[in-house]
């Protein structure tokens, strides 16, 4: 089975940076709602991560529109291919919507959106208690939806990589690829053994033929 082609280096970097930031953002977000003493500090970090994710995802969308993804492994069928495309679009949509909803939610409280400790962003929603409540509920639902989509994505990649062994994860990996896989090496050794046995057989046949003909016979 041929190893699938990799994404370009910049795509792989953006992918893993996004993954680290999103996991950090979700973790802090879930901890923040159960924390009282550190709520303000955690909210500032959470908002900073959210806006950073928003910027990076915009870059990823632009990169995705200008560069085609490498071909999926042969183990991915037509229906699964549609699921892959659909999940990718869903992931991008959630990663764009979640920070924007959070930004609007904070704006609806009348408080400034503060990132990196001192940078204030403009408000994108009016001060309104009912709007804040609706945005807060939406923000929570989007967070759970994002967790579900990420879990499905990771599960699918692990299934292909560990069970089907089609190199799905290697499309986003940074490790060097070996020129000869263990399977190819084993095939090469087997072929060499067959060739050696064939050569010995030919020599034996030649010797037996000469012995049967005897001296002086033509």
Give pLDDT tens digits for 200-210.
Answer: 455 445 444 44
Specify whether the CB–CB gap between 121 and 100 falls below 8 A.
Answer: no
Distance, in Å, from the CA atom of 149 to the CA atom of 146, rounded to the nearest integer, reads 5
| DSSP-derived 3-state class of residue 120 | strand
pLDDT digits 0-9 by tens, 55-93? 999 999 999 898 888 888 888 889 999 999 999 999 999
Distance, in Å, from the CA atom of 80 to the CA atom of 69, rounded to the nearest integer, reads 16
Q: What architecture is the 9-172 domain classified under in CATH?
A: Up-down Bundle (1.20)
| DSSP-derived 3-state class of residue 12 | helix
pLDDT digits 0-9 by tens, 156-195? 999 998 988 888 888 898 876 555 444 344 443 444 444 5
Distance, in Å, from the CA atom of 21 to the CA atom of 6, rounded to the nearest integer, reads 22
């Amino acid at each position: 089975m041929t190893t699938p082609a990799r994404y370009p280096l910049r795509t792989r970097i953006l992918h893993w940076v996004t993954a680290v930031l999103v996991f950090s953002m979700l973790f802090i977000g879930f901890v923040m709602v159960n924390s009282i003493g550190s709520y303000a500090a955690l909210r500032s970090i959470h908002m900073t991560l959210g806006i950073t994710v928003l910027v990076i995802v915009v870059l990823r969308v632009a990169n995705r529109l200008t560069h085609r993804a490498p071909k999926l492994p042969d183990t991915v069928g037509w229906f699964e291919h549609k699921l892959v495309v659909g999940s990718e679009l869903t992931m991008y949509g959630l990663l764009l919507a979640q920070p924007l909803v959070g930004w609007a939610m904070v704006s609806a409280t009348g408080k400034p959106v503060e990132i990196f400790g001192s940078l204030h962003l403009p408000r994108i929603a009016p001060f309104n208690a009912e709007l804040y409540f609706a945005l807060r509920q939406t923000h929570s639902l989007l967070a759970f939806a994002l967790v579900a989509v990420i879990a499905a994505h990771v599960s699918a990649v692990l299934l292909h990589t560990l069970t089907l062994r089609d190199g799905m994860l290697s499309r986003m990996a940074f490790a060097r690829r070996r020129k000869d896989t263990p399977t190819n090496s084993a095939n090469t050794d087997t072929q060499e053994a067959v060739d050696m046995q064939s050569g010995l057989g030919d020599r034996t046949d030649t010797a037996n033929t000469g012995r049967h003909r005897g001296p002086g016979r033509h």
